[in-house]
Structure 1
Amino acid sequence: MIILFFISLITFVNSLSLKQVLMAIDCGGQESFNSKEGFLYQDDQYFSGDSRVSDYTYNDVVYAGIAYTFTPRVYFTERHGNSFDYNLPINKNGQYTIILQFVELYFENEGERQFDIYIGTKRVIQNLSIIDNKHQKGSAKEVFIYIDIKEDKVFHQGQECNKGFINGKLKIGFRKGAADLPKVDGIVIVKGHNAGEEERNHLIDNWEQLLEENKKKEAELERAELEAQNMIVPDSVEPEEGEGLISFLLSPIGFGIIGFGMAVFGILMFAGENQDQKNKKIKKSK
């Protein structure tokens, strides 16, 4: 029962758990943790360049809740700066999806922060604004970038990204655009090009309904776990004739009473046998 609830919850959250997640980085984070989808976010590493970390754990927006995600922790920290890179180790040729994760916790309006994304020396996204017509301040945003790695070269939309794959490492760059500084909260590398972008759009379009359903599923999962640990009594059901007595006898209290009764019975039997033996000896002596 618990396993079924767990599988249902994970599948509900995002089909990304069904894909082959090769790597996930919690940018700015100092400790690794498991996402709600079931894969591991590593602590922040593989970065270089002019950047620094901000921690928004106690920010009012974070406290109110990050929208469009069931793993809000990845959005509590960020790496930002004038120009910085992530050089991520990838061992094999093939198709990959880069999922860049963002949330705007400072600016209020679209376009107040705009920056560029690079693969090697190739700019793949220009003047990205985290806030747009679907994402407001405090809304998690995921950007999907599809690449192919062939013979130690990386391609985006059929064009080679020069210096994008060197010594087995994929280079993702964040550069200043039209306004303010670039930032990133999380990076996920998925094998293949089917990384759940359609499911992501569905989640955004149906967020309130899915959020309520997820809360119910989590409550059901928690209750099932507590019942399994005998920490709460399941909802009472009218027992059939004789069923209540059997359930009571099989309970810890019932076993205790039965054990105590058997012990008393054994003592009485032992005392009776001793008395019989004494009586026999008295008769013989006479």
Structure 2
Amino acid sequence: MINILFISLISFVNTLSLKQVLLAIDCGGQESFNSNEGYLYQDDQYFSGDSRVSDYTYNDVALAGISYTFNPRVYFTERHGNSFDYSIPINKNGQYTIILQFVELYFENEGERQFDVFVGTKKILNNLSIIDSKHQKGSAKEVFIYIEIKDDKVFYDNEECNKGFMNGKLKIGFRKGAADLPKIDGIVIVKGHNAGEEEKNYLIDNWEVMQEENRKKEAELKRAELEAQNMIVPDLVEEDQGEGFFSFLLSPIGIGIITFGLAVFAFLIFTGEKEEENNKKKNKKDKKDKKK
């Protein structure tokens, strides 16, 4: 069976690779699954603090489709609460990108939910609103945070994030801001700073065009799959006319036409023979009448 979400990736190549993704978490999710790029989203773990889980799998907006993403499943569940953290294990020094994944499935307007994001005690995002000029209710939003870990310390924008890296774990915090509660749908930790932010922006700006291209590719591949299963007769082309005609003759319609033709032919022969026999009898009778 064709995986429709995988087909969508034909027209959009993310720079993320399996080697780059260190860890991915489906926040609020109870089961692990593979993304369409091939890396693993783990079930929800490494969290602490005052939080709870919501599942929007059967939410009307979620069922209608999460825009700006080829991995909608990660946005069906969330973790939210007054104040909570994720302490994510990282074993080596180096540059990393934190990708925070959000979608708003409850509020309608920008600013109705605002919250802060920390690395350690350093505030990285202030009064973040998931809904903004480019993101509406039901559209996936990714925030890219570029950090560096060295000598058991984590740095953001060349400034140390105090208590951001302790006992081999990177601490990411979510705190209440100007409105409602903080939430998070997914966290991806990527090695290096080439995590696909430009490609994500391109996807958002060209989403409708890409969706139309994907629908066409999906229809083409579905048709190819049906043809491979002999569920439909492929369109005839000039070089395959002989093969197509032969296939038609072997089809139920072709066999029916042949059978009918043979029956008509047999009837005509039988009628002709009877007429000829009657003519012979008539000639014999005429000859006898003349002799008399």
Quick check: TM above 0.5?
yes
**Corresponding residue for 1:50?**
50
- Residue 75 of structure 2 corresponds to which residue in structure 1? 75
Give distance in 2, aligned partners of 1:222 and 1:36.
19
Matched AA of 1:236: L
**Are 2:11 and 1:12 equivalent residues in the alignment?**
yes
The verdict on how the C-alpha distance between 1:236 and 1:6 changes in structure 2, with shifts beyond 3 A counting, is farther
TM-score when normalising by structure 1: 0.77
8 Å CA contact 2:107–2:113 kept in 1: the answer is yes
| 1:94-152 deviation per Cα after TM superposition (whole angstroms, max 9, x unaligned) | 11111101011111111111000011111111100001111111111110000001122
Which segments of 5 or more consecutive residues in structure 2 lack a partner in the other structure? 248-292
Secondary structure of 1:209's match?
helix
What corresponds to 1:109 in structure 2? 109
Query: Secondary structure in 1 aligned to 2:193?
Result: coil
**1:186 aligned onto 2:190:** no
Could you tell me which residue of structure 1 aligns to residue 255 of structure 2?
none
Secondary structure of 2:210's counterpart equals: helix
Given that 1:152 and 1:166 are in contact with CA atoms closer than 8 Å, whether structure 2 keeps it comes out as yes
Contact kept, 8 Å, 1:101 with 1:184, in 2: the verdict is: yes
| Structure 1: distance between partners of 2:34 and 2:230 | 27
Q: 1:97-246 maps to which residues of 2 (within 5 A)?
A: 97-228=97-228, 232-239=232-239
SS at match of 1:202: helix
SS across alignment from 1:15: coil
Q: Using the TM superposition, give the Cα deviation of residue 61 of structure 1 relative to its aligned residue in structure 2, in angstroms.
A: 1.0
Amino acid at match of 1:142: E
Match of 2:45, as an amino acid?
Q
Give a deviation string over 1:213-258, Cα, whole Å, max 9, x none: 122223334444454555555433344587669x97xxxxxxxxxx
CA contact (8 A) 1:6 1:221 kept: no
1: CA distance, partners of 2:144 / 2:223: 36
Q: Return the alpha-carbon distance in structure 2 between the equivalents of residues 181 and 10 of structure 1.
A: 33
What is the Cα deviation at residue 75 of structure 1?
0.8
RMSD value, Cα: 2.5
Q: Is the Cα contact below 8 Å between 1:118 and 1:174 reproduced in 2?
A: yes
Is the CA contact 1:14–1:200 (under 8 Å) kept in the aligned structure 2? no
User: Quick check: 2:6–2:36 contact (8 Å CA) kept in 1?
Assistant: no
When normalised by structure 2's length, the TM-score is 0.76
- Identity, in percent, stands at 78
Residues 241 and 68 (structure 1), Cα distance of their counterparts in 2 relative to 1, 3 Å cut: closer
Q: Deviations over 1:257-281 (max 9, x none)?
A: xxxxxxxxxxxxxxxxxxxxxxxxx
Shift of 1:18: 3.7
Q: Could you list the runs of 5+ residues in structure 1 that have no partner in the other structure?
A: 249-286
CA distance in 2, matches of 1:233, 1:244: 9
User: How has the CA–CA distance of structure 1 residues 212 and 121 changed in structure 2, closer, same or farther, with 3 Å as cutoff?
Assistant: same
Larger Cα-atom Rg: 2
DSSP 3-state at the match of 2:181: coil
| Aligned mates of 2:218, 2:232 — CA distance in 1 | 17
- Per-residue Cα deviation, 1:53-78 (whole angstroms, up to 9, x for no partner): 00011111112221111211111110
Deviations 1:36-90 (A, max 9, x none): 2222211111111110000011111112221111211111110000011111111
Q: Give the number of aligned pairs.
A: 245
Query: Is the alpha carbon distance of 1:67 and 1:155 closer, same or farther for their aligned partners in structure 2, counting shifts above 3 Å?
Result: same
Residues 235 and 89 of structure 1: CA distance in aligned 2, closer, same or farther (over 3 Å): farther
